[in-house]
Amino acid sequence: MNGSKQFWQFNLYKAMRDPSLIAYEDELVVIIKDKYPKSEEHFLVLPQATIPEIRSLNASHLPLLRHMDRVSRSFCANFNHVFWAGFHAKPTMMQLHLHLISDDFRGSGLKTAKHWNSYTTSFFVSISRVIHDLETNGRVLLPSNASLNELLRAPLQCHKCLFKPSNMATLKVHLISHTPTD
Ligand code: AMP
Ligand code: ZN
């Protein structure tokens, strides 16, 4: 693509303005459902202001990030799930988006090892890490592109136990064993 952005990479700008997709909105942020959920519950928190991605953040964004953190915590409290809240170090879609994802990873959109590793390795940068980095360094400290690509190619590892599945089908069956039964 010679560095140019493909048209689909801008789809979140449109999605966050579609009232039928909005689960929460205030003057600073919008929360929408992820269109290709990787877990039973998967949402994206987007700032109303245009901010391309995690690398665009500096200390001036701290009040916004703290607001995103606060709003996310109260939003997730409505669900009977444990949530992870973080950003992909190298996002595919433009406009900053915080993933709120329940920790079951049993969504229809979770298909590839790359998907798995993007949430379960340090490719996934928690919002508390982002706030900490902005407070102490004025920017988010991220691994090099080469290291990020390596993280995505890492062997599969269950996020809850020591099991190392040989492929995604085995992982998906294994994840059922971690689903609470009540
Ligand atoms: P990232 O890899 O962090 O850029 O994640 C982008 C996220 O946006 C993925 O979880 C996609 O499933 C999700 N997504 C892509 N297109 C849409 C859309 N039109 N509406 C809502 N979510 C989307
Ligand atoms: Zn396990």
Residue 2: the pLDDT is 45
Cα 32 to chain centroid, rounded:
12
Q: What confidence tens digit (pLDDT) does each residue in 148-178 have?
A: 999 999 999 999 999 999 999 999 999 999 9
Q: How far is CA 46 from CA 3, 98, 158, in A?
A: 24, 7, 29
List the catalytic residues: 97
Q: What SS3 class is residue 78? A: coil
- Which residues have C-beta atoms less than 6 Å from ligand 1? 11-12, 15, 32, 34-36, 44, 88, 91-93, 109
Q: Can you spell out the DSSP letters for 22-67?
A: EEEE-SSEEEEE-SS-SSSSEEEEEESS----GGG--GGGHHHHHH
CB of 163 within 8 A of CB of 172?
A: no
Give residue 171 CA to ligand 2 midpoint distance, Å.
8
Residue 1: the pLDDT is 46
Contacts 24+ apart (CB under 8 A), 14-18: 16/46, 16/95
Q: Which atom of ligand 1 is nearest to the CA of 91?
A: 4
Mean pLDDT of successive 10-residue stretches along the chain, which has 182 residues: 74 96 98 97 98 98 98 98 98 98 97 98 98 98 97 98 97 92 56
Q: Which atom of ligand 1 is nearest to the CA of 32?
A: 21
Give residue 93 CA to ligand 1 midpoint distance, Å.
6
Q: Which atom of ligand 1 is nearest to the CA of 37?
A: 12
Q: Model pTM?
A: 0.96
Give residue 182 CA to ligand 2 midpoint distance, Å.
19
CB of 6 within 8 A of CB of 93?
A: no
Q: Mean pLDDT for the chain?
A: 95
